[in-house]
Structure 1
Amino acid sequence: MSTFVLVHGAWHGAWCWHKVLPRLESAGHTVAALDLPAHGTDTTPVGEVTMDDHVERGGEVLEAQSDPAILVGHSTGGAVITQTAEAYTDEIDTLVYLTGFLLDDGEALLEYAEADEESVVTQSLVVDEEGGVATVEADALREAFYADCDDADVTLATSLLRPEPLAGLVTPMQTSDEGFGSLPRVYIGCEQDNAITPATQERMRKRLPCDDVRSIDSSHSPFLSAPEAVAEHLDGIA
């Protein structure tokens, strides 16, 4: 059995994995889902959070595991696991991008994301440079993130979202062949994604090929709408 460390995306928290985590544990795996700084129940002031803080949090969780972990990043969490892989290479077995940003050395997430003009997030993103945060317009949340989720899940999720620290979105990746580039990587795409569109997912995979590519017929949040499929893919990767 394997160890999984689950990293949520922007605005979300460890809570978003609440349907996936028990399914992986039932299959015999060890699973840790973390709150990045200023997300979920973490109380770090949002305007103070940097990408280095995200990496440090991920590293703390990785180092607490008894074996190298399969590190899973959803959406913006993809950038986090990429940078974490550079600093904690020996603590990681495999990188898994669940409709995640797969960025190359020198690329910043926000700049790359804004090139996806079909993304509902790009169309509805509100950046507060003075406050150091980014949000998504409330009336766009369902279409952007939860298009195939039921009403109860949408209500729960939208009530738990928090402003996203801007610093992590504008910090360029700093990676090397010896760090990030040395680890196996798997991409699980979402075919109905309105946040990171399928075309953008494919474009990232062409630039940085993955050892395995899988897909789920879901919106941007399969951990809510298709948790069985997410768990089955992760179990298969393990």
Structure 2
Amino acid sequence: MIPGFWLDGASWAPATRDLEAAGHRTLAMTLPGKESPIASRHGIGLRDHIDAVVDVLDSIDAPAVLVGHSGGAAIIQGAADARPESVAKLIYVDAVPLPDGGVVNDELPVVGCSIPLPGWEVFDDADLTDLTDPLRQEFRRMAIPEPALVATDPQSVRNAARFGIPAAVIACEFSAAQIQGWIESGEAFTSELARIEKLSIHELPTGHWPQLTRPAELGQLLADVVGNRG
């Protein structure tokens, strides 16, 4: 389970409880440079985060389901490109995989080699749906600056075997019909989704951080999707 920007592995706790109750083993990763607010982020880029996931895949003896939230989508996509035989399923939480050469977000404000959690005015209203003032305070308390290069390094995916891995999108800010419409109309940012041989889209209407705003529902939906019941 790969967190999005500004979050560590502990942010997945509500979802891991449901998955483990369903009999799954989980590993919620804290990625390099995100071990603490004062960790060094110098020189850490997207490939370093992908390689950290690949190292875990190489250490286990069965294919794994990879779950990526937000910017974590590019990371699980890159890991699947590197080790398609080691990935049983990909789950993108309020995110889609990047086209080759795409970047996660090169518009976020950078401070040195880091991207601290910016002010709420940077985000769209849809991002902030259900993120109440107490949840915003909790998010800011737990937030860890993101290594800047993770946001701006271009994605490199060249292995067509990744399209044979079953994938699911958990759509929070947009409906399944909207996403399907973008795929059918040839929108560039959905070009990777369009080539996935077995894709399902599941709705969880809320803002961009469902692990904070609707944790119980996210955990149950993940358990359903991982267990092939949804």
Q: Does 2:223 align with 1:228?
A: no
Asked if the contact 1:68/1:92 (under 8 Å) is kept, the reply is yes
Q: Is the 8 A contact 1:189 1:216 kept in 2?
A: yes
8 Å Cα contact 1:98/1:188 also seen in 2:
yes
The correspondence of residues 27-176 of structure 1 with structure 2, limited to 5 A, is 27-41=22-36, 44-111=39-106, 125-128=108-111, 131-140=112-121, 146-176=128-158
Task: Measure the CA separation in 2 of the matches of 1:175 and 1:46.
Answer: 24
- Tell me if the contact between 1:15 and 1:40 (Cα under 8 Å) persists in the aligned partners: no
Q: Separation in 2 of the partners of 1:16 and 1:34? A: 10
Q: 1:181 is matched with which residue?
A: 163
Q: Secondary structure at the match of 1:30?
A: coil
Q: Gapped runs of 5+ residues in structure 1?
A: 1-5, 115-124
The answer as to whether partners of 1:14 and 1:40 remain within 8 angstroms in 2 is: no
Instruction: Report the Cα distance in structure 2 between the residues aligned to 1:139 and 1:71, rounded to whole angstroms.
Output: 29
Task: Please state which structure has a larger fraction of its residues in strand.
Answer: 1
Percent of residue pairs identical: 25
Secondary structure at the residue paired with 1:186? strand
Secondary structure of residue in 2 paired with 1:188: strand
Separation of aligned partners in 2, 1:84 and 1:217: 28
Aligned to 1:237: 225
1:157 Cα deviation (Å)?
2.0
Structure 1 residues 42 and 88: alpha-carbon distance in aligned structure 2, compared to 1, 3 A threshold: farther
Secondary structure of residue in 1 paired with 2:105: helix
| Contact 2:49–2:75 under 8 Å retained in 1 | yes
Please tell me the residue identity of whatever aligns with 1:132. Answer: C
Residue 97 of structure 1 aligns to a residue whose secondary structure is strand
- 8 Å CA contact retained: 2:73, 2:95: yes
Unaligned runs of 5+ in 2: none
Aligned residue type for 2:208: H
Q: Where does residue 117 of structure 1 map in the other structure?
A: none
TM-score, reference length from structure 1: 0.78
Measure, in 1, the Cα distance between the counterparts of 2:78 and 2:133: 35
User: Normalising to structure 2: TM-score of the pair?
Assistant: 0.80
Shift of 1:213: 0.8
